C-alpha cells in the first residue's frame, strides 16, 4: 500500500492508496483514528453500491446518506449534518468519516470542523476528482449563491483512505471531469505525470493507482509547503479562476467542475501567451492534452458575466485578478494584479477563437 505523508508537524497525516482498501475500512479506521463512535457521511449514490463496507450491525457506526449533487454544499445540508451529529450524542473524541466525492468531503468536513469546535475527520474519496485533489489538503466548506466555496475552513483530516476500485462504478462523465484535475497536476509541476498521460488509455477501467499516487504526492508537498495558501498553494488553482466563474454562471448545474476547469486551463494558456509568458508550442501542447480527454461543452455565458462572477472569487484583490499561468509544460507562474478590463477583452477574443 502506498502511504504518502502530508507533513504538517503535529497535524501530519497519511494518504493511503491501494486497490481494494475500501473493504478494509473498519480495520484502517481502528489504526488511523480509533474511536468509540464513527459518524459516516456517505453520498447516497455511493452508499447504494457500497453500503456493506461499513459494518451495519456495529453500534459504533451511525450513517447519514447525503443527497447526491452540488446542492448538498448548502447551509441547509450543513445544518442537517450538525443536527444528526448532536442528536446522536457526538463527543469531542469521536470521528467523522466522509465517503463520497468532493461535495460530501467538503460539506461533511466543514461539519466536522465546526461541531463542538472540531472532531477528527477521515476522508474516503470515491470520485476521481476527490481522490486526486479535494480530499487532500484540508479545504472544507459550502457554496454561497454569490460563489463557490465562499464559506469554509482549512481543517485537515487525520487520514485519507483512497481505493481506486471505487472508480469502476463512477459514471464516465465524472471520470472525465476528474481527469481535468489530473491534467492540472501534469501541467503545474514536473512529476512524470505528463509523460504518463501521453500513453494513457483515458478510460475509467484503466488502473488509476499510479496516476492517483503521483497527483497525491504533488498535492501533499504543495500543501505541506503552504497550508493556508499564502502563495505557492495557489498553483493548485490553475484553471480555477475562470473555471469557478463558469460553474457559477451555470448555477453549478450545467458544466461539471472538471469541464469548467478544462476551459479555465485553456484560457489561462491563452492569457499566458498573450502576456509573453509561454509560447505558442506550449499553448498548443496544453490544448492537445485537454483534447485527449474529449471535447468540452460549448460555452454560452457572456464574458462580462464571467468577469462579474470572478469579482466574488477569493483570488480577487482590489478588482484585479490573480491567475496561475503556464510557462512551459510542468511549470506555472502566479501573476497578480491583472486588470479586469483586459481579462474581459481577452475572454471576448478567446470566445471568437473557440466559437463560444
Instruction: Determine if 139 is a binding residue for ligand GLY (CB under 6 A).
Output: yes
244 classed as catalytic? yes
Pattern of binders to ligand GLY over 75-114, x per CB under 6 A? ----------------------------------------
Question: Which one of 53-61, 132-140, 162-170, 172-180 is the stretch in contact with ligand GLY (CB under 6 A)?
Answer: 132-140
Binding mask 293-322 for ligand GLY (x = CB under 6 A): ------------------------------
C-alpha dihedral sign at 87, 93, 97, 98: positive
Instruction: State which residue, 233 or 256, has the beta carbon closest to ligand GLY.
Output: 233
Rounded Cα gap, residues 50 and 334, in angstroms: 41
Q: What is the DSSP string of 309-320?
A: HHTTSTT-BTTE
How far apart CA 326 and CA 282 sit, in angstroms, is 8
- Catalytic-residue membership of 117: yes
Query: Annotated catalytic residue: which of 94, 120, 149, 181?
Result: 181
The two beta strands, 38-43 and 95-100, are parallel
Contact window for ligand GLY (CB under 6 A) among 86-94, 131-139, 246-254, 342-350: 131-139
240 as an active site residue: the answer is yes
Active site residue 298: no
92 is catalytic: no
Segment 174 to 233, residues that bind ligand GLY, using CB under 6 A: 233
Task: Tell me the C-alpha distance between 206 and 309, whole Å.
Answer: 37
Reduce the DSSP state of residue 199 to 3 states and report it: coil
In the complex, least distance from residue 102 CB atom to ligand GLY, rounded to whole angstroms: 9
Question: Looking at 73, 120, 148, 240, which residue is catalytic?
Answer: 240
314 is known as an active-site residue: no
Q: How far is the CB of 352 from ligand GLY (least distance, A)?
A: 30
229 belongs to the catalytic site: yes
Distance CA 61, CA 154 (A): 26
Contact call for residues 286 and 326 (beta carbons, < 8 A): yes
Q: How far apart are the C-alpha atoms of 289 and 294, rounded to whole Å?
A: 10
73 is catalytic: no
Distance of alpha carbon 85 from alpha carbon 99, whole angstroms: 16
Return the residue of 43, 70, 106, 133 that touches ligand GLY, per CB under 6 A.
133
> Rule CB under 6 A: is residue 137 a binding residue for ligand GLY?
yes
Annotated active-site residue 339? The verdict is no
Q: Angle CA(124)–CA(116)–CA(44) in degrees, nearest 5?
A: 35
User: Given CA atoms 240, 246, 247, 249 in this order, what sign does their dihedral have?
Assistant: positive
| 236 interacts with ligand GLY by CB under 6 A | yes
Shorter beta-carbon distance to ligand GLY: residue 94 or 139: 139
Q: How far apart are CA 332 and CA 35, in angstroms?
A: 42
Helices (H), ranges, the chain: 25-32, 44-50, 75-87, 102-114, 128-129, 172-188, 193-198, 209-225, 240-249, 257-274, 280-292, 303-310, 340-354
Binding mask 2-21 for ligand GLY (x = CB under 6 A): --------------------
144 is catalytic: no
The catalytic residue among 117, 280, 288, 298 is 117
Active-site residues: which are they? 117, 139, 181, 219, 229, 233, 237, 240, 244, 257
Residues in contact with ligand GLY by CB under 6 A are: 133, 137, 139, 233, 236
Amino acid at each position: 500500500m502506498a502511504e504518502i505523508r502530508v507533513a504538517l508537524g503535529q497535524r501530519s497525516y497519511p494518504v493511503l492508496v491501494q486497490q481494494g482498501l475500501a473493504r478494509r475500512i473498519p480495520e484502517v479506521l481502528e489504526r488511523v483514528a480509533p474511536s468509540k463512535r464513527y459518524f459516516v457521511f456517505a453520498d447516497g449514490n455511493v452508499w447504494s453500491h457500497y453500503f456493506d463496507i461499513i459494518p451495519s450491525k456495529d453500534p459504533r457506526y451511525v450513517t447519514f446518506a447525503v443527497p447526491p449533487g452540488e446542492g448538498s454544499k448548502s447551509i441547509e445540508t450543513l445544518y442537517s449534518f450538525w443536527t444528526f451529529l448532536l442528536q446522536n450524542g457526538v463527543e469531542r473524541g469521536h470521528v467523522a468519516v466522509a465517503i463520497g466525492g468532493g461535495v460530501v468531503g467538503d460539506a461533511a468536513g466543514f461539519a466536522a470542523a465546526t461541531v463542538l469546535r472540531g472532531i477528527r475527520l477521515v476522508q474516503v474519496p470515491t470520485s476521481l476528482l476527490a481522490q486526486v485533489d479535494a480530499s487532500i489538503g484540508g479545504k472544507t466548506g459550502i457554496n454561497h449563491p454569490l460563489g463557490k466555496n465562499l464559506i469554509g475552513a482549512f481543517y485537515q483530516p487525520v487520514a485519507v483512505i483512497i481505493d481506486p476500485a471505487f472508480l469502476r462504478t463512477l459514471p464516465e462523465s465524472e471520470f472525465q471531469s476528474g481527469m481535468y484535475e489530473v491534467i492540472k497536476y501534469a501541467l503545474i509541476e514536473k512529476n512524470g505525470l505528463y509523460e504518463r498521460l501521453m500513453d494513457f488509455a483515458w478510460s475509467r477501467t484503466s488502473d488509476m493507482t499510479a496516476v492517483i499516487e503521483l497527483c497525491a504526492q504533488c498535492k501533499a508537498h504543495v500543501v505541506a509547503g503552504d497550508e493556508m495558501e499564502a502563495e505557492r498553494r495557489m498553483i493548485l488553482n490553475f484553471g480555477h479562476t475562470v473555471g469557478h466563474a463558469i460553474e457559477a454562471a451555470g448555477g453549478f448545474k450545467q458544466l461539471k467542475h472538471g469541464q469548467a476547469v478544462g476551459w479555465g486551463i485553456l484560457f489561462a494558456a491563452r492569457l499566458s501567451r498573450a502576456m509573453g509568458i509561454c509560447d505558442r508550442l506550449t499553448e498548443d501542447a496544453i490544448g492537445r492534452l485537454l483534447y485527449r480527454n474529449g471535447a468540452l461543452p460549448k460555452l454560452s455565458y457572456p464574458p462580462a458575466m464571467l468577469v462579474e462572477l470572478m469579482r466574488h472569487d477569493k483570488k480577487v484583490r482590489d478588482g484585479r485578478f490573480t491567475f496561475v499561468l503556464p510557462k512551459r509544460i510542468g511549470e506555472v507562474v502566479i501573476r497578480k494584479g491583472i486588470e479586469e478590463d483586459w481579462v474581459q477583452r481577452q475572454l471576448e477574443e478567446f470566445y471568437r477563437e473557440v466559437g463560444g
